Amino acid sequence: MNKVLGNKKAIAVYVLPGLILYTCFLIAPVVWSFYYTLYDGSPGIKWNFCGPDNYLRLFSDKNFMKSLLVNCKYILVVMAGQIILGLAMALMFHFWLKRFKSFVRTIVFFPVVLPIVAVAQLFTKIYEIQPHYGLLNSILAGVGLENLVQPWLGQAKTAFGSLCAMDIWTSIGFYAIIFYGALLDVSSDIVEAARIDGARAFQLLRYILLPLIRPIMVVCLVFSFTGTVKMFESALTLTNGGPSGATKSLSLYMYTIAFTYSKVGYASVIALVVFALCVIGSFFIRKLDKDITR
């Protein structure tokens, strides 16, 4: 095997097909996208060379800054929610739940397989206020918290939180199952030894379990980051970026610019920013990974 892999021609033969496909379907569109950034309008309709104008516009575009902020906030909130609650759920499966383990795991994992459009429809009904109260407002009204009944998706101050709650609910099962797998791998001897040494629940988590599942934690961070940085489908289907752009992510803004405003060039600049955001995020996660490996 070493002999084959040491042969440069053999490597070329193995790598080339994949490389060609990767170049055609990934690198070429990125380069093409860069070319688009130098034009104004939409190909085939109004398509004029505009030089660096699209890049300059980025710095004076308040909506872009707002979308960037929304996207960053979303990454932080949803990542934290997915990881922390996913881990909490896994700990519950492993240490607390004695009966119906499989059933509960299935129920928690169930939202992961639902299409996001269906989930958005479900949550639209949950958050509903007119013509009839949805589940959330009904519960609030039922327990005497009438003052908390509000149009959750219709006002800027609550729409973002409502969207994050939906996305965390949808994906929490996925992270719970990964963390649960990691916890199963932790030797029971170590946990028992720690307990004999007098470690309490928090100390056990902080000094024994977390260090042992750190590699899995990094994997989950990567998954969570890549999932949240592209923030699109859920925001589109639940709130369509509104109200007043409170849930408009960079991807959604890019989509509006390209297809509503017919400015593909400027949208391509925003696409490059999303690309840069991915590169920066991946860099930090890789750095964290390296630190752990050391």
Partner 1 sequence: MKKKIAAMILSTAMTASLLAGCGGNDAGSTQESDSAATEAASQTEVEPEAEETDDTAQEEAGEEPAAPAETRTIKILSMWPEDDAESTANGSIIMAMLQQYQAEENPDFTWEYEYVDSDNLKTKVTTLAASDDLPDFFAYDAGTSLLELIEADLVLDVTQALTDLGVYDSLDEGAKTYLANLTGTDSIYDLPLGLNIEGFWYNKALFEQAGIDGAPATWKEMLEDCDKLLAAGIQPIATGAGDSWPATRLLHAYAIRLMGADCMEQAAAGTLAYDSEGFVQAAQMIQDMNTAGYFGVGATTVDQNTAADMVMNGEAAMLYNGSWYTSSLNADTNPAGEDGIGFFSVPAVEGGKGTVTEYPMNCGTILCLSKASYDDSVAGFLKYFVTHVGDYSMNEFGALKGYAVNEYPEDVGGYTKMVADEMNKVTGTGNWFEALMTSELSTVVQENVQSLMNGDMSAEEYCEQMKDTYELTKPN
Options 243, 278, 285, 288; binder of partner 1; rule CB under 8 A: 243
> Binding mask 16-35 vs partner 1 (x if CB under 8 A, - otherwise)?
xx---x--------------
Instruction: Identify residues 167-226 at the interface with partner 1 (CB under 8 A).
Output: none
Options 2, 6, 45, 202; binder of partner 1; rule CB under 8 A: 45
Options 8, 9, 99, 294; binder of partner 1; rule CB under 8 A: 9
Options 2, 6, 8, 44; binder of partner 1; rule CB under 8 A: 44
Options 148, 156, 210, 276; binder of partner 1; rule CB under 8 A: 156
Burial (CB count <10 Å: 0-12, 13-18, 19+), residue 141: middle
- Measured from the CB of residue 127, what is the shortest distance to partner 1 in angstroms? 7
Q: Per CB under 8 A, does 256 bind partner 1?
A: yes
**Residue 48 backbone dihedrals phi, psi, to 5 degrees:** -125, 140
Options 262, 278, 282, 289; binder of partner 1; rule CB under 8 A: 262
Residues that bind partner 1 (CB under 8 A): 3-4, 7, 9-10, 13-14, 16-17, 21, 42-46, 127-131, 149-157, 240-245, 255-256, 259-262, 264
